[in-house]
Chains A and B, each alone.
Chain A
Amino acid sequence: MKEFNYIIKRILQMIPALLVITVIIFAGMRLIPGDPAITMLGTHYSDAAAEGLRHKLGLDQPLFFQYLLFLKQVLTFDFGNSITMNAPVWDLFKQKAVVTLTLTLVTAIFTIIISFIFGYAAGMSRHPLISKTIDSIALVMLSIPEFWIGIQLMLIFGLNLKLLPVGGWGSTWPEHIRSMILPAISGAMGTSALMIRNIEEEITKIKKQDYVDFAYSKGLKKGVVRNRYILKNVMVSTVTLLSMRVIGMFAGSVVIETVFALPGLGSLLMQGIMARDYTLVQSLVYIFAVIVLVMNLLTDISYSFLNPRIRLE
C-alpha cells in the first residue's frame, strides 16, 4: 500500500514539473529567430502568402492564446498536425520512435555486455597491469566523440569490409537489426567507458568489505561470493548510472542518428527545429519530458528491488 501511495505521489508531483516544462518549451521555441511561414514558403515567398499562411497556422493569434492552444493539445494528448510535414505529430512520433527505441535497446545491450565484461575483469583482477590497461582504454574511449567512432566504423566495416550497411534503416526487421549494429557500438562506447570505470571502482571497494571476508570464511565458493556478495552490491550504483544514460540515449541520439542517416526521433527533432515547426518541436520535447519523468520513476522503483535499504515512501 505504501508503495502504491508513493507511486501516486510521484505521479502527482509530475504535474507542476510538466507545466513548467510547457512554458519553457513554448518560450524557447518562440525565442529562436525565424518564422515558419517564411521557411515553408521558401522561394514562393510573398508578403500576402506569408500573411495567409500565418493566419492558417494560427500564428497571428496573441502568444497567450497560442500557449493555451498548446496546453490544450498537451492535456488531451492530441498534438495536432505538424506545420511543415502535414501529418499528425503523434503518428510521426510513433513512426520514428520505433527506430530510436530499437537503437536505444541495441545500444543498451552492447553497453551492458561491454561494460560488465571489462569492468568485472578490471575490478576482480589481481594484476595491476590488466586493470590499468582497461582503465586507460576506457579513458580514451570516454574522450573520443561518438560521431568520430561512428565514421571510423562506417569506413572499416561498411566501406572496406562491406560487412554492414553504412547507414539507413532498411525495410525488413533483419535489415533493421543489421543497420543498428554500427550505430549502437558507436553509441555504446562512451557510456561503456563510464560504466567500466564505475563497475571497477565499486568492485575494488566492495571486495574489501567485511561481508565479503565473512562470506569466504563461511566456506562459500568463489563464484557464489562474487555473484551474491560482490556483483549484487555493485549493481546498486551501476543500475542508477545505466538507467540515466539509457534515458539520455532515447531522448538525445541526434548525433548518432544524423551520422548513420537513421530516420529516428533525433532526426525528426532536428528537421522540426530547422523548419521552425513549432507544433512538432513543442510536442516532441514535451513527449520526451514525459518519458524521462516516467523512466525516472521506474528507475526509482527498481532500486527498491536492488537495494532493500531504499523504501518507497
Chain B
Amino acid sequence: MDEILKVSNLKTVFYDNSREVHAVNDVSFSIREGETFGLIGESGCGKSATCRSIIGLLKENGKITEGEILYKGKNLVKMSRKELEKIRGHEIGMIFQEPMTTLNPVVKIETQITECLPKTMSRADKKKRAEELLKMVGIADAGQRLSAYSYELSGGMRQRVMIAIALAAGPRLLLADEPTTALDVTIQDQILKLLMDLKQELKMSMILVTHDLGVASQTCDRIAVMYAGKIVEMSDVHALFLNPCHPYTRGLLESIPTISKKGSRLIPIEGMPPNLKKLPEGCAFAPRCRFCRSICLQQEPQLQEVETGHFSRCHFRGEPEGEK
C-alpha cells in the first residue's frame, strides 16, 4: 500500500506571551492508503495540534517551525494559502469535536453543504447531492433537514451533518479530532460506526484523534501514543494492546476499568503531564514513571524499534526490570 501522508520531524510551537510552547515536538509518522491511524494521549499532549498542523489551521499564535508534511508527495508546510484551499476539503477533510459550535448558526444546512460542492454543478444538482449526503450519514428526513438551521438539530444530528459537510467534496484523508467525545455514549457508538462504514465505502484514510483507548482499539489499524508533544509508542493495534512497551502506554491500559478486573483497584498514573513551556531534562515521562532509573532523568530516549513496526521511546526497550 502506498503512503498517503508522511509527517517527518514535525515541530509546532505556540507562542504564549513570547514564551514558546512546544505542542508538537519532532513527530514523525506515515499513513498508508485506506488505513485508520489513531493518535491517542491525554489532553494537551499535541494530538489536536498535529491534526491542525496537517490541515494548516493552527490558531493565530501557532506556527510550524520544522519538519515536513508530505501529502501524496507534496509538502503541505510550504504551500501557499491558495494551494492549501485546494487541498482542504477536496483532499483532506476534518471533523471537529464540538458539534454544538462547529456549524454556522445563521446559515442553513443546505448552504453549508452546497458551498463545498464544485462550482460547475447546477443549483438543482447541488441540492440533490446535499440531500444524498445527508442520507448517507443516516439522517432520515434529509430533504426537510436541508432547510434547517443548526440550532434545530440535536448533538448527534449535528455531528452527522458535520460529517456530511466534511465529506461533501470527497476528501481522501479524513482527520477526525475527537469526533465522539462531546456525545452521549449511545450516540458515540453510532457515530463511530458510521465513520468506519463511510471510510470503508469511500475508501478513505483516516486519522482518529481520541483519548479513549476503547474507541481506538475498535477502530484503528495502527496507533501512536503521544505524550508531551512526542510520540512515545507507535505500532499496529494488536501489538500495542498485547505487548505495550512504553510505561506510559502500560499505565494507560492499566487505568481502563474492565469487567474481569472488577473488584480490584484501578492503577492510576500518578502526577500531571509536564509543563510544555519547561520540559524536564531526560525522558518527559520520567517524573511519573514507576520504572524510572537515573539514566531516564539525564538522557532523552530515542524512538527505537522494539519489534518490526513497533516503536517505543524508552531506554529499556519495553523490559524495565521491576519497580523502583
Contacts and interface: CB of A to CB of B under 8 A. Distances in A.
A236 B15 CA distance: 32
Contact of A307 (B90, B106, B115, B169): B106
Contacts of B116: 218-220
Contacts of A219: 85-90, 116, 169
A211 B101 contact: yes
B57 A210 contact: no
Contacts of B86: 219
A301 interface: no
A126 B115 contact: no
Interface in B69-110: 81, 85-90, 93-94, 96, 98, 101-107
Main SS of chain A's interface residues? helix
B162 interface: yes
Interface stretch (A59-67, A104-112, A224-232): A224-232
Interface string B231-257: 000000000000000000000000000
B165 A218 contact: yes
A297 B318 CA distance: 71
Contact of A211 (B102, B151, B166): B102
A198 B93 CA distance: 33
B128 to A, nearest CB: 19
Interface in A227-261: 228-229, 232-233, 236
B49 interface: no
B184 interface: no
Given A211-B104, A217-B93, A233-B104, A308 B169 contact: no
Given A126-B60, A211-B105, A217-B88, 12 more contacts: A210-B101, A211-B103, A213-B57, A214-B102, A216-B88, A217-B55, A218-B88, A218-B116, A219-B85, A219-B87, A228-B104, A232-B107
Interface of B: 55, 57, 59-60, 81, 85-90, 93-94, 96, 98, 101-107, 111, 115-116, 149, 151, 162, 165-166, 168-169
11 contacts: A213-B57, A214-B103, A214-B162, A217-B93, A217-B94, A218-B116, A218-B169, A219-B116, A222-B81, A232-B104, A233-B105
